[in-house]
Every structure is written in structure tokens, then in C-alpha cells.
Amino acid sequence: MNTAESSAVVSDLIWFKSSYSGAEGGDCVEIAAGTQAVLVRDSKAVAGPVVRVSRAAWAGFVGAAPATLVG
């Protein structure tokens, strides 16, 4: 996992906000799928840091997440 300098570096990507993010401005996560990696950022700080994970690591996370959320 790597952290990019800022979202401005990857501004040409299309970002998607988590469906679990509340409309009241709570914890908001956005992702963008690049060709080599998936990028994750805080939607309240779009010019801030970006976490970059491999596409394989993201697929593993997404595959495991539903089992974790259902409990």
C-alpha cells in the first residue's frame, strides 16, 4: 500500500463515494479505479492524501467485506 502526494495528482480519474457515507457529512470514503491500482481518499479532503492499493488487494478486501459486515 502506498500514499500518493495528493488527489490533484490523480484528478483525471472518476471518483465514487461509498454508499455507506452519510449525507450529514460523516465518514466519507471515495474510490477511483486506475489501470494499475485502486485509489482511496477522504471525500471531505479531496486535495489531501490518497491511499493506493493494488487491484488484487482491493478485490480481496471487497470480497471479504460483506462477510465482515453481516457478522
In the chain, where the domains are located: 2-70
Report the share of the chain in percent with pLDDT over 70.
65
Predicted TM-score of the model (pTM): 0.69
pLDDT level of residue 43 (50, 70, 90 thresholds): confident
Average pLDDT taken over every residue of the chain = 77
Alpha carbons 14 and 60: distance in angstroms, whole number:
21
Per-residue pLDDT at 5: 46
Residue 54 in this model has a pLDDT that exceeds 90? yes
